């Protein structure tokens, strides 16, 4: 009986023990799941931390501010990196602007990548970055502001995006490392002194779409040898190619009749005028402008090309009018020349004229210029640059003639006109 009781007790314990095992298993499984969940949470936290750290790394050294439209303006850089990729986002906000002068005088900076959200570069952004060699511009950039890369003497490689339309005043002035430039198809305007002083620049290729090359745009590019001009070119301002003494070749996409429609200021563009132009429509080549000594006409008036081929001398006129104006500028075949002088005998024995006005750029009046003009009783000199009057220039003009000159030049011009053949009653007065 005793042994039977013990056996029953052992059996009950066995049953009880077997009933509690699933609970232990469930608890172990739950603990494992909880541990996995914590591990996953830790991993997620690690990933989030890495993303934050990456963002912090991307903007480290940059100074910036949030604009009213909830975009970012980069305002400066205090880091030491020499190769910069400006972040396209900060705190999940797009970078759209770089402040004026933000990277100015970062002399150790060697390369820069500008983010895609930036559509224009403010003035002076990279000026004085003398070590900068490479710039990557974003697609969508439309304008490069004043002096943005001025003085970046090491800059060598420029690839402009097709979206670029305007390059402003002195944007690349003094970038002496540049040797070749190819401009994109949508570029319309190259600004005042934009590439002035780029003394190692040799070749420039413009694309269809260009409209204006502004004053001094390539002045002082003393190694420039050739340029390509598209048919779309409408204006070349004065001094655009001043002192580009090696400029010998111009490839123009249109014909000569197309080129004549272009507005070209001769002043300061003597190298361009002396170059050989080849017309893309015909393949023919000729001197861009008439050479020294050539006589050209504007209506009934004849001029002669001077040593500086951007200047003309007034030779004669077949105008039957009694009142004549000697212009100081005249446009012939699309080239605007400065009229710098009146040649000898220009109006010799002209018995019709009673009044002559001499405009502002005239520097000299040749000998016998008005000799024998017996009815000439008024000469108005509007030029403030007159330097010489030839012998007998006024001989035989009306004895009661009056010569009116710029008031601040009165005393000086009285000396210039003294004893030029006029009678004693001819007066020189200020107007």
Given a contact cutoff of 8 angstroms between Cβ atoms, the answer to whether 380 and 402 are in contact is: no
Q: Residue 327 maps to which CATH number? A: 3.80.10.10
Question: Taking the model in full, what pTM does it have?
Answer: 0.84
User: Alpha-carbon Rg of the chain, whole angstroms?
Assistant: 40
The answer as to whether 135 is a domain residue is no
**Rounded distance, CA 183 to CA 144, Å?**
13
Residue reference for tokens 């403030």: 384
Q: How many domains does the chain have?
A: 2
Nearest to 214 by CA among 236, 185, 198, 232: 236
pLDDT for res 59: 78
The answer as to whether 184 is a domain residue is no
**Rounded distance, CA 144 to CA 63, Å?**
21
Residue reference for tokens 């001499």: 358
The answer as to whether 323 is a domain residue is yes
Chosen domain end from 9, 29, 59: 59
Burial of 43 by CB count in 10 Å (0-12 exposed, 13-18 middle, 19+ buried)? exposed
CA–CA distance from 83 to each of 26, 172, 323 (Å)?
58, 20, 69
- 170 contact partners, CB below 8 Å, separation of at least 6: 146, 147, 150, 191, 192, 193, 194, 196
The answer as to whether 188 is a domain residue is no
pLDDT for res 55: 54
Chosen domain end from 59, 83, 108: 59
The DSSP string of 251-272 is EESS-HHHHHTSEEE-TT-HHH
**Which long-range contacts does 21-30 make (Cβ < 8 Å, 24+ apart)?**
none
The answer as to whether 424 is a domain residue is yes
Exposure of 308 in the CB half-sphere (CA atoms within 13 A): 14
Kindly give the confidence (pLDDT) of every residue in the chain, 431 residues in length, as a single tens digit, with 9 standing for 90 and above. Answer: 444 444 434 443 343 444 443 433 444 333 343 344 334 434 444 344 444 444 555 578 999 999 999 999 999 999 999 999 999 999 999 999 999 999 999 999 999 999 999 999 999 999 999 999 999 999 999 999 999 999 999 999 899 999 999 999 999 999 999 999 999 999 999 999 999 999 999 999 999 999 999 999 999 999 999 999 999 999 999 999 999 999 999 999 999 999 999 999 999 999 999 999 999 999 999 999 999 999 999 999 999 999 999 999 999 999 999 999 999 999 999 999 999 999 999 999 999 999 999 999 999 999 999 999 999 999 999 999 999 999 999 999 999 999 999 999 999 999 999 999 999 999 999 99
The answer as to whether 253 is a domain residue is no
3-state SS class at 144:
strand
**Rounded distance, CA 310 to CA 316, Å?**
19
* 239-280 per-position pLDDT tens digit: 999 999 999 999 999 999 999 999 999 999 999 999 999 999
**Rounded distance, CA 349 to CA 375, Å?**
10
* 66-99 per-position pLDDT tens digit: 999 999 999 999 999 999 999 999 999 999 999 9
Q: Which residues constitute the domain of residue 36?
A: 20-59
Put residue 301 in one of left, alpha, beta given phi > 0 → left and psi -120 to 50 → alpha. beta
**Rounded distance, CA 341 to CA 357, Å?**
13
CA–CA distance from 398 to each of 120, 198, 426 (Å)?
64, 56, 8
The answer as to whether 417 is a domain residue is yes
Given a contact cutoff of 8 angstroms between Cβ atoms, the answer to whether 241 and 214 are in contact is: no
The answer as to whether 7 is a domain residue is no
């Amino acid at each position: 009986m005793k042994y039977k009781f013990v056996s029953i007790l052992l059996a009950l314990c066995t049953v009880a023990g077997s009933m509690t095992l699933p609970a232990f298993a469930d608890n172990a499984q739950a603990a494992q799941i909880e541990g996995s969940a914590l591990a996953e949470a830790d991993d997620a936290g690690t990933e989030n931390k890495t993303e934050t750290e990456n963002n912090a790394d991307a903007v480290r050294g940059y100074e910036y501010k949030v604009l009213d439209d909830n975009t970012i303006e980069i305002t400066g850089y205090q880091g030491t990196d020499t190769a910069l990729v400006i972040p396209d986002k900060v705190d999940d906000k797009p970078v759209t602007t770089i402040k004026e002068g933000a990277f100015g005088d970062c002399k150790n900076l060697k390369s820069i990548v500008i983010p895609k959200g930036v559509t224009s570069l403010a003035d002076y952004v990279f000026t004085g970055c003398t070590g900068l060699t490479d710039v990557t511009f974003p697609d969508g950039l439309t304008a490069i502001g004043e002096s943005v890369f001025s003085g970046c003497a090491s800059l060598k490689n420029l690839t402009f995006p097709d979206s670029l339309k305007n390059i402003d005043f002195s944007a690349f002035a003094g970038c002496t490392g540049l040797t070749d430039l190819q401009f994109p198809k949508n570029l319309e305007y190259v600004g005042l002194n934009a590439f002035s002083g780029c003394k190692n620049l040799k070749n420039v290729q413009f694309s269809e779409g260009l409209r204006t090359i502004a004053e001094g745009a390539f002045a002082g590019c003393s190694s420039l040898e050739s340029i390509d001009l598209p048919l779309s070119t409408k204006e070349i301002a004065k001094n655009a190619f001043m002192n580009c003494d090696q400029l010998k070749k111009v490839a123009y996409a249109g014909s000569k009749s197309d080129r004549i429609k272009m507005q070209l200021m001769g002043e300061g563009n003597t190298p361009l005028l002396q170059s050989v132009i080849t017309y893309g429509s015909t393949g023919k080549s000729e001197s861009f402008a008439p050479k020294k000594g050539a006589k050209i006409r504007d209506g009934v008036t004849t001029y002669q090309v001077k040593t500086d081929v951007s200047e003309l001398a007034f030779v004669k006129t077949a105008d039957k009018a009694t009142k004549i104006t000697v212009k100081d500028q005249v446009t012939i075949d699309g080239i605007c020349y400065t009229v710098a002088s009146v040649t000898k005998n220009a109006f010799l024995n002209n018995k019709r004229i009673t009044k002559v006005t001499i405009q502002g750029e005239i520097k000299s009046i040749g000998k016998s210029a008005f000799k024998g003009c017996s009815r000439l009783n008024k000469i108005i000199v509007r030029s403030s640059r007159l330097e010489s009057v030839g012998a007998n220039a006024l001989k035989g003009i009306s004895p009661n003639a009056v010569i009116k000159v710029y008031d601040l030049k009165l005393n000086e011009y009285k000396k210039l006109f003294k004893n030029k053949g006029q009678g004693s009653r001819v007066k020189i007065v200020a107007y």
